[in-house]
Structure 1
Amino acid sequence: MIARLAVAALCGSIVGLERERLLWAAGLRTHMLVCTGSCLIMLVSAFGFADALGAHNVVLDPSRIAAQVVSGIGFLGAGTILLKGEVVKGLTTAASLWAVAAVGLAVGAGLYVPAVAATTIVVAILAGVKPFEERWRDRMRGHGLRVTVRRGALSVDTLHGLLGGYASRIRQFVLAPDEDPDREVATVLFSRLPPAALQTIERTLREAPDVISVEPLDG
């Protein structure tokens, strides 16, 4: 039993180190505690009622206590989730806590190979998939342009004509007067637009005769 608790702490520490590297509140110690605690709960569920099982007509289900870990760990996960503006942070850390709880249950049940394999997969997902995820998000996140044009030269129909197939990616179009009475400033927001496509749109707009300047909103 002590060996199982030690293995659970080790597995939790491996996942926790990856979260600690990114300075999340739920880091090394939190993941170790969750994994070790889950392991102990599984041990209690499996071996803690040996005396009661010896009584006449007593039947116990060793999975009932362990099953509560799956739902009960949610309060810790909820504590790691933050809402910053319109962006939700901490979902991955909450999921990693839930995963190490499952690893702890597996170690407590004596399933060492699945527990170690799951730990390896979880760390690979957290550390190995993140660069691809960030690259994909950067590729597909929204972009915006600030376009300065001669007064009366740009409208939604005109913009659609200039952009062609990219016009379907326009999420918002706002036209406002400039300090110069002969100019207007258009703010155009695009959704799910790769950087290469944005560069093509910028080049197309700059070549238009009535466009004075084109500037990225996030640049």
Structure 2
Amino acid sequence: MEMIGRLALAAALGSVIGLERERLLWAAGLRTHMLVCVGACLFMLVSAFGFGDILGHDRVVLDPSRVAAQVVSGIGFLGAGTILLRGEVVRGLTTAASLWAVAAIGLAAGGGLYVAALTATGLVFGILAGMKPIEERWRDRSQSRALRIVARAGCLTLDTVQAVSGQPLSRIKRFVVQPGAVENSEEVRIAFARLSSEHLAEIARRLREQPDVTSVEIEDR
């Protein structure tokens, strides 16, 4: 009954983390996290109780803890399957880390460390659900954003953009000028670093009010 209780606890704790990942439609969702947690718990039970009948024999040297230790490295193949490279952006690292953490929770539940397993579940869930809005807000402010401007040739310079935008020159990451499709016009691409979408929209509005500017578009990054 003790073993059944530990396996059931591991399934319940794994489901808490899995539901958070399932909410975001990741490949490793509810069932994957539950299976990882239950599997790690079973490995821990095997490590703790599976070799009791031979440990007392003479000339038998055995370290059951090595079974649990292999879970730490063996869970890596599942984590690697959730990591994707899309262009220059790596996705899935958080889900891979959650699988690794769930395996540790399963080992703790299998070893009877109930307080540690419950506390770790609460912390992991809080990190995944509670810290995401803060992370997204910070990422939104720190990522590079760009404008595509069509204007009369020679009217836009770095000093002009700085005066209109109110941003220091250090925020301007890239300033590229190319001949426009219309005679006596040019196409300017300006990339700003560490600028929120609200500030970029305000800069675009100010640039549109300039008499020599034909169009201003916000480019998707």
TM-score (norm: length of structure 2)? 0.88
The answer to whether the aligner puts 1:128 opposite 2:124 as a matched pair is: no
State the Cα distance separating 1:160 from its structure 2 match.
5.7
Aligned mates of 1:87, 1:135 — CA distance in 2: 18
Q: Offset of 1:48 from its aligned partner?
A: 1.1
**Residue in 1 aligned with 2:191?**
189
Give the match for residue 86 of structure 1.
88
- Work out the percentage of aligned pairs sharing the same amino acid: 64
CA distance in 2, matches of 1:165, 1:145: 14
Question: Which runs of no fewer than 5 residues in structure 1 stay unpaired?
Answer: none
- Give 1:112's aligned residue: 114
SS at match of 1:186: strand
CA distance in 2, matches of 1:133, 1:45: 38
Q: Give the gaps of 5 or more residues in structure 2.
A: none
1:34 aligns with 2:18: no
TM-score, with structure 1 as normaliser: 0.88
| CA–CA distance in structure 1, aligned partners of residues 188 and 198 of structure 2 | 21
Q: Distance in 2 between matches of 1:15 and 1:197?
A: 36
Give the paired residue count.
219
Aligned to 2:219: 217
Alignment of 1:36-185 (within 5 A): 36-156=38-158, 159=161, 166-185=168-187
For 1:22, the equivalent position in structure 2 comes to 24
Which amino acid letter does the alignment assign opposite residue 172 of structure 2?
Answer: I
RMSD over aligned CA atoms reads 2.3
SS of aligned partner of 1:139: helix
CA distance in structure 1 between the partners assigned to 2:94 and 2:19 by the alignment: 14
Letter in 2 for 1:2: I
Q: 1:165 to 1:131 in 2, by over 3 A?
A: closer
Instruction: Give the Cα–Cα distance (whole angstroms) in 2 for the partners of residues 192 and 54 of structure 1.
Output: 64
CA distance in 1, matches of 2:6, 2:165: 62
